[in-house]
Amino acid sequence: MTAVAVATAANVATAHEQELLIREHIPLVGHLVRDMLSRVPSHVNRDDLTSAGLAALVTAARGFDPSRGIPFARFAATRVRGALLDELRHLDWASRSVRSRARKTDTARQELTATLGRTPSQQELAGFLGIAVDELKEVEDDVQRAVVLSLQGFTTGAAEDMVTERTAGPEDLLLHRERIGYLHDAIAALPDRLRTVVNGYFMQERPMATIAAELGVTESRVSQLRAEALTLLRDGLNTHLDPELMERKDKKDGCVARRRASYYQEVGSLGNLHTRLAFTDQHGVPIAIAA
């Protein structure tokens, strides 16, 4: 065996070390799979993604070279994301026609909002598009699962847009963890009905009809509550994390303005850096918090 081969063999983890790495980082796969499922249509199978992610984790453990100075969690996360993306390509999770219809729906909603001076109803939007209301709901259900995580709107791109290959540095990771903590606080500070809608629809993935029945309202009303909650969440986070993103508005002393200001203040007072970071581990993986 050559000197190079001996050195290479010495840098590769032993079978026992590989097994420990795999066992320790199985939760990382679960986190990445959950994150991916929140960004794709509900018909994508969790088991398919998990299998692909675990296989990538095993491969990463076998090829990990600690002498390169890269933490295994970061090394494995890149490969697991790549494997999940490959699996999505294989499953063809969203056809071009679905993505095209989603873009058309978003454009139509913006046009109608500008014309009507308010958010259009499902019936108005469906009529504008020339489709049935049920068909409109079907399209929206395929693209709305990523709203809470991105807080930047609906995801209507291709599978490649769902996974980023950039690895966060220490500062970016800390900011990411803090943002997750702020999101938990912002959800907790929501009024009861809005919090019920957010937890039910996004966290528990319950059907809108079930949430509507629980609240004693129509599905259309639940949709309105969801939109109201997302606006509050976005502005509540931006107030504390990205103040420059807050829209410039004339100061108002009305009841609604005072309630919103009170909500923003409560989001900031619910926790501190320590409590917000406690929602995730050192790698940014969410930690289950007892209710």
Instruction: Dig out the tokens for 182 from the structure.
Output: 């702020």
Does residue 94 carry a pLDDT above 50?
no
pLDDT for the residue numbered 196:
93
pLDDT for the residue numbered 217:
92
Instruction: Dig out the tokens for 106 from the structure.
Output: 């978003």
Spell out the long-range contacts of 174-177 with Cβ–Cβ below 8 A and sequence spacing 24 or more.
174/277, 176/284, 177/276, 177/277, 177/279, 177/280, 177/284
pLDDT for the residue numbered 166:
46
Q: What is the pLDDT of residues 172-199, one digit of tens each?
A: 777 788 888 888 899 999 999 999 999 8
Does residue 4 carry a pLDDT above 80?
no
pLDDT for the residue numbered 214:
92
Q: What are the helix (H) ranges across 189-247?
A: 192-198, 208-215, 219-241
Place 55 in a pLDDT band, splitting at 50, 70 and 90.
very high
Judge residue 118's burial from the number of C-beta atoms within 10 Å of its C-beta, 0-12 exposed, 13-18 middle, 19 or more buried.
exposed
pLDDT for the residue numbered 189:
93
Does residue 155 carry a pLDDT above 70?
no
d(CA 164, CA 235): 25
Does residue 152 carry a pLDDT above 50?
no
Does residue 206 carry a pLDDT above 70?
yes
Judge residue 239's burial from the number of C-beta atoms within 10 Å of its C-beta, 0-12 exposed, 13-18 middle, 19 or more buried.
buried
- For the chain, the average pLDDT equals 76
d(CA 102, CA 142): 8
Q: What is the pLDDT of residues 105-147, one digit of tens each?
A: 878 888 888 888 888 888 888 888 888 888 887 777 665 543 3
Does residue 284 carry a pLDDT above 80?
no
pLDDT for the residue numbered 113:
84
Does residue 246 carry a pLDDT above 90?
no
Q: What is the pTM of this model?
A: 0.45
Place 251 in a pLDDT band, splitting at 50, 70 and 90.
low
* Section 6-26 average pLDDT: 71
Place 211 in a pLDDT band, splitting at 50, 70 and 90.
very high
Does residue 23 carry a pLDDT above 70?
yes
pLDDT for the residue numbered 105:
82
**Do the Cβ atoms of 35 and 280 come closer than 8 Å?**
no
